[in-house]
Structure 1
Amino acid sequence: MTAATITGAPVCGMTWGWVGTRGTWNTPGAAESMRVMAEHSVTWTALAYAALQPTPFSTDIAFRDEPTVTDDELVWGIRQAHSLGLKVCLKPVVNVADGTWRAHIGFFDWDVPGEPSWTQWFASYTRFILHAAQIAEAEGCEMLCIGCEMVRADGQEEHWRRLITDVRAVYRGLITYNCDKYQEDHVTWWDAVDVIASSGYYPIDSWEHQLDRIESVVTAADKPFIFMEAGCPSREGSPALPNDWTLEGAPSEDAQLAYYQEMFRACRNRPWIEGLMLWDWPAELYDEHRAADDDDYCPYGKLAAPFMAQQYAAWSGSNR
């Protein structure tokens, strides 16, 4: 099995709509945002939305409640993307309401009576993911991402395998999991998914080293690989710490462009990389005339945008 036979063409992607706040998707502004995104040679989009659990030790994920987008908004997003000719990866994500990063969600390695457990948490998480899988199947999503950067949960192999089996019972498309940066060689159940994916927030000067490391994982698993997240804020200092959205620094289109140049150069030189799903494009897009003052990840209106479009157009044209 080769990567090309799975994805068919490079994943020239962009994450859209994060964090999926209720009321922000099915609007004229959201439709225009997605249309403009598609004009940048984007062929895939990850529709990413978050459901909340109260603390990292909670076992109930309230995916039907506010502030998470409604099912109708999810369907709207999928159909809007498909109407623009985009392939869709539906990406349900769990966040923690108290601000703790989801990577720290965790429990005892074994179940203990009277204590919150992985078994309880995965029961709730499975309901969340299966609900997304049913929508993805009904709407013809080309891919489903069953988790994102769940570092402490990554070691729960038996639970993940059971979840994937349950998902395959209701969803026939491609299944992927988005591990965190530096975790590609710590996930032991890559054989259970169709596409290996990770968050490629690597310092600008370490791409070659990290890709050497990841390549050994991809070769051993014999699976397609994409970066389900990658990118850099348009901010001074961010190319060295692209995962840190809180880093202090002045807005800098040049910094973001330099990062994009190195990221695309490194990734396009590796035939086993099937594409990028860049981070990120908001549902409520800022005014293009204010782009120079925006120091976040979205490249819209910045120097990185035409460069990305050119790279994606060339990558798609190479039919890799």
Structure 2
Amino acid sequence: MDYIKGFTFGWMSGRGDFRKPEAKESLRLMAERTGSSHVIFALAAHQDHPQAVEVKYRGAHLVEDDELVGMIRYARTLGLHVILKPTVNCTDGTWRAHINFFDIDVPCEPKWKDWFCSYTAFQKHYAGIAEQEKCEMFIVGCEMVQSERRDQEWREVIAGVREVYTGLVSYNTDKYQEDHVKWWDAVDVISSSGYYPIGDWEAQLDRIEQAITPYGKPFFFAEAGCPSRSGSAQVPNDWGLEGEVSAEEQERFYEAMFRDYGKPAEKVIRRFYEGIAVEV
């Protein structure tokens, strides 16, 4: 698998947003200024609240299929590899990690089986587009922490996606959850959201390496970053944190993140090179 130098684009874009000239210009500038090799088109379906069982992927809250296809094809003209990442938000503002139901079916209560049925249809719809457009990777979900204990259902989601998509499949767990997902064997690539405090990257990378090594799968951070705000380097995922604008703090965070991330990568490269027989 190619090293992923990626950037997320279009998160929470609604109907018509990808048709705007500004969208293409934004993507062009992203590719030019960041040196990215990959773009992750992240799509946000809706469900009304954490216990709603219908995942809504039609409507004004999402770009239409033809404009998504158009943007994927434009990304190709920029030399970008494409990763498609359809996920879901709760319209009441609850973070998707809290989508949850009883583990034992109870009459008159919402059920995991109904939610997964709707979620799988949503994923397979976009997996079909990913196959049509030959996207390099498909990410079947993001930060669905409470649902991750539902091992069999997630395996069925991934199997359903593989019925229509032949590329690499990943799942994006949340920070600190890399060693709690028990079905990593079902995906091709392991990914997570790397919102770790500055100064803690080395320890967290060591933990992640230990957790994923038994699976023998590639790993990457499908999300990582820090707002340009004073105090955010310690809690980079807290979008509501109040503080002064600080481009310098954001810069320090990224420098620390990329510097520490190189250490496990160097070990992987060394093991790979040492395993290659060299003809003399």
TM-score by length of 2: 0.93
**Which residue does the alignment assign to 1:47?**
41
**Which residue does the alignment assign to 2:236?**
242
For 1:62-93, what per-residue CA distance to the aligned partner results, in whole angstroms no more than 9, with x for missing partners? Answer: 10122111111211221111111101110101
Residue 74 of structure 1 pairs with residue 76 of structure 2: no
**Any conservation in 1 of the 2:206–2:264 contact (CA below 8 Å)?**
no
Identity across matched positions, percent: 54
Structure 2 residues without counterparts, runs of 5 or longer:
269-280
**Any conservation in 1 of the 2:195–2:236 contact (CA below 8 Å)?**
yes
| Letter in structure 2 aligned against 1:87 | H
Deviation for aligned residue 1:23: 1.7
**Which residue does the alignment assign to 1:150?**
144
Deviation for aligned residue 1:113: 2.2
- The aligned runs of 1:299-318 (5 Å cut-off) are none
Match of 2:185 among 164, 184, 191: 191
Work out which structure has the larger RCO, using CA pairs closer than 8 Å and 6 or more positions apart in sequence.
Answer: 1
- Looking at structure 2, the residues matched to 142 and 231 of structure 1 have their Cα atoms a distance apart, in angstroms, of 23
Residue 15 of structure 1 pairs with residue 12 of structure 2: no
**Which residue does the alignment assign to 2:278?**
none
- Looking at structure 2, the residues matched to 236 and 273 of structure 1 have their Cα atoms a distance apart, in angstroms, of 34
Match of 1:38 among 4, 22, 31: 31
Determine helix, strand or coil for the equivalent of 1:116.
coil
Deviation for aligned residue 1:12: 0.5
Deviation for aligned residue 1:177: 0.2
| Letter in structure 2 aligned against 1:204 | I
Determine helix, strand or coil for the equivalent of 2:221.
strand
Match of 2:20 among 14, 21, 27: 27
Determine helix, strand or coil for the equivalent of 1:228.
strand
TM-score by length of 1: 0.82
Residues paired across the two proteins, number: 267
- Looking at structure 2, the residues matched to 110 and 137 of structure 1 have their Cα atoms a distance apart, in angstroms, of 36
CA root-mean-square deviation = 1.2
**Structure 1 residues 154, 260: CA separation in 2 closer, same or farther (over 3 Å shift)?**
same
**Which residue does the alignment assign to 1:120?**
114
For 1:126-148, what per-residue CA distance to the aligned partner results, in whole angstroms no more than 9, with x for missing partners? Answer: 01000010000001100000000
Match of 1:208 among 194, 202, 208: 202
- Looking at structure 2, the residues matched to 272 and 61 of structure 1 have their Cα atoms a distance apart, in angstroms, of 41
Structure 1 residues without counterparts, runs of 5 or longer:
1-6, 275-320
- Looking at structure 2, the residues matched to 45 and 18 of structure 1 have their Cα atoms a distance apart, in angstroms, of 12
For 1:272-318, what per-residue CA distance to the aligned partner results, in whole angstroms no more than 9, with x for missing partners? Answer: 799xxxxxxxxxxxxxxxxxxxxxxxxxxxxxxxxxxxxxxxxxxxx
- Looking at structure 1, the residues matched to 115 and 105 of structure 2 have their Cα atoms a distance apart, in angstroms, of 11
For 1:116-163, what per-residue CA distance to the aligned partner results, in whole angstroms no more than 9, with x for missing partners? Answer: 011000000001000010000001100000000000000011000011
Deviation for aligned residue 1:110: 2.0
Q: Going by fraction, where is helix more abundant, 1 or 2?
A: 2
Determine helix, strand or coil for the equivalent of 2:164.
coil
**Any conservation in 1 of the 2:179–2:212 contact (CA below 8 Å)?**
no
Determine helix, strand or coil for the equivalent of 1:270.
helix
**Any conservation in 1 of the 2:12–2:61 contact (CA below 8 Å)?**
no
